[in-house]
Amino acid sequence: MNDVHQLLRSHRSIRAFTDEPVDDATVAEIIRCGMAAATSSNIQATTVIRVRSSDTRARIAEIAGGQRHVVDAPVFVVFCADLHRPGLACASQGVTPTPGMTEQFIIATVDVALAGQNAVIAAESLGLGACYIGAVRNDPATVSALLELPDHVYPVFGLCLGRPAQNPDVKPRLPLEAVLKEERYSDAGDLVHIAAYDDTMRAYYGSRSGGTKDSSWSNEMAALVGTERRPHMRSFLAERGFELR
């Protein structure tokens, strides 16, 4: 296993940070690394907004369910899917942008995810820790208002960055056999792999929580996939110009 592989496989979400600041040049370099990620048709549909205001951070932390690391992290940024900027380029050529296409939405969202992961890897290579904040989508309209996002831009996730003040264990992943398929999709054997993974996750949670948490991946998926999650997103996206047709 080379150093890059080791770095990738040692990823943990860091939610406690030291007070050591992260200088602006380092933040800029991390975002440049994010910008270097693959981008469909060179659309570069990612905009990153650094939030320094303690009031704005406090409001976003509240929206995110009281996640204090949004306030406490030395750096907090919000990654946005941005079809406004490509629209400006389109209009500069005398062409009226065609809004609301599902493919454009997918391209922009994938672009942001790739850029965010590049940025996290860059940060971790410098000894920093990171934590994605998908809960900005609990109330994306308010987050959009706070950040003054125009139409055709939406907040995909926040990202906390800083020097780790904790050293959590790496969370186990599904067995490779459940993820890597040969030639075609087959779920043969997946229930066996899931059951084994459930045992692994019960042990992981039990160890991490001192025995106070008894859960498994299947328990978590029942709560996640078995219930409605953020049903407001469809109407919010439509209001922002992502009509998805």
Chain segment 127-172, per-residue pLDDT in tens: 999 999 999 999 999 999 999 999 999 999 999 999 999 999 999 9
Question: What pLDDT does 208 receive?
Answer: 83
Question: What pLDDT does 163 receive?
Answer: 98
Question: What pLDDT does 243 receive?
Answer: 77
Nearest of 48, 46, 241 to residue 158 by alpha carbon = 48
Question: What pLDDT does 43 receive?
Answer: 96
CA distances, 54 to each of 149, 151, 221 (Å) = 19, 25, 34
Q: How confident is the model at residue 99 (pLDDT cuts 50, 70, 90)?
A: confident
Question: What pLDDT does 174 receive?
Answer: 98
Q: How confident is the model at residue 14 (pLDDT cuts 50, 70, 90)?
A: very high
Name the least confident of 19-28, 86-95, 193-202, 236-245: 236-245
Question: What pLDDT does 78 receive?
Answer: 98
The first and second tokens of residue 24, run together, are 């602006």
Q: Is the pLDDT of residue 234 over 80?
A: yes
Name the least confident of 115-119, 168-172, 223-227: 223-227
d(CA 24, CA 138): 29
Q: In this structure, what are the phi and psi dihedrals at residue 206, rounded to the nearest 5 degrees?
A: -60, -40
For the chain, the structural domain boundaries read 3-169+228-239, 176-208
The DSSP-derived string for 138-193 is: GSHHHHHHHTTPPTTEEEEEEEEEE-BS--PPPPP---HHHH--SSS---TTHHHH
Q: How confident is the model at residue 211 (pLDDT cuts 50, 70, 90)?
A: confident
The first and second tokens of residue 178, run together, are 């459940």
Superfamily the domain 3-169+228-239 falls into: NADH Oxidase (3.40.109.10)
d(CA 244, CA 237): 8
Q: How confident is the model at residue 56 (pLDDT cuts 50, 70, 90)?
A: very high
